[in-house]
Amino acid sequence: MCSWSRFLGFSFFLFFLFTFSVPWVSASNGNVVPLEVAEAEKALVLAYDAVLEAEEAGANVSGLLARLNLGGEYLAEAYVWVRLGDSESAARFAGLCVEVVGDIRGEAVGLKEEAHGWWVLDVSVRLIWSVFGMIVIVVVGYVVWHVFRRRYLERVLGSRPEVVSDES
């Protein structure tokens, strides 16, 4: 009886030791993944969000996408090892993923700001040319109208039959 209770107690001890010494989190699909892999997943998504914002601002993000792809390959590899039960390899590949995508957010923010600067310049140039073009068209239209109107009236009045008074 005593040996059984010792065995049971030792089993519980090992179970809790294993559970709390290796950090695990639950993934969205129900699989349990090590914390490092979940963090790599989060880092990749945050980097992607930043790249998307830079792209929407008009930046060329092809270089950042190539690096995100490398991060994605490492993360996929990490998930392979999670499925095969090798948490050490999974954590190693997750670490590589975090390393690759680590600087992407900062660079994406830089590209976004640069693209925003170009956008402001572009809009300013468009605004100036649009206003200038509109003013030119309105002024030219006004002048042409007045020239046309004067010639029209001269032509119409010139061709009108004169009323001759015969009072004399």
Partner 1 sequence: MNLEEYRTMFVVVTLVLALVAVSPLLSVVVPFGGGSERFSELWLLGSDHMTESYPFDVAVGEEYCVFVGVGNHMGGSEYYKVYVKFRNSTESLPDIHKSMPSSLDSLCEFRFFVGEGEVWEMPVIFGFEDVVVVGDLLSVGNVVINGVSFPVGASAVWDSENEGYFFELFFELWHYDVVSHSFRFDDNFVGLWLNITGS
In the complex, minimum distance from the CB of residue 60 to partner 1, in angstroms, rounded to a whole number: 10
* Cα dist from 49 to 40, 69, 105, 157, whole Å: 14, 14, 8, 73
In the complex, minimum distance from the CB of residue 88 to partner 1, in angstroms, rounded to a whole number: 16
Q: Whose Cβ is closer to partner 1: residue 23's or residue 133's? A: 133
Q: Contact residues for partner 1 (CB under 8 A)?
A: 28, 44-45, 48-49, 51-52, 55-56, 61-62, 65, 68-69, 72-73, 75-76, 79-80, 83-84, 122-123, 126-127, 129-131, 133-134, 136-138, 141, 144-145, 148-149, 152-153
In the complex, minimum distance from the CB of residue 27 to partner 1, in angstroms, rounded to a whole number: 11
In the complex, minimum distance from the CB of residue 117 to partner 1, in angstroms, rounded to a whole number: 15
Give one DSSP letter per residue of 24-63, joined into a string.
Answer: EEE-TTS-EEEHHHHHHHHHHHHHHHHHHHHHHTT---HH
Q: Whose Cβ is closer to partner 1: residue 17's or residue 123's? A: 123
- Spell out a b/e string for 72-105, using b for 16 or more CB atoms within 10 Å of the CB, else e: bebbebbbebbeeeebeebbbbbbbbbebbeebb
- The number of angstroms, rounded, from the C-alpha of 143 to the middle of its chain's C-alpha atoms is 49
Q: Whose Cβ is closer to partner 1: residue 27's or residue 35's? A: 27
Q: Whose Cβ is closer to partner 1: residue 72's or residue 95's? A: 72
In the complex, minimum distance from the CB of residue 30 to partner 1, in angstroms, rounded to a whole number: 9
- Spell out a b/e string for 14-26, using b for 16 or more CB atoms within 10 Å of the CB, else e: eeeeeeeeeebee
Q: Whose Cβ is closer to partner 1: residue 22's or residue 120's? A: 120
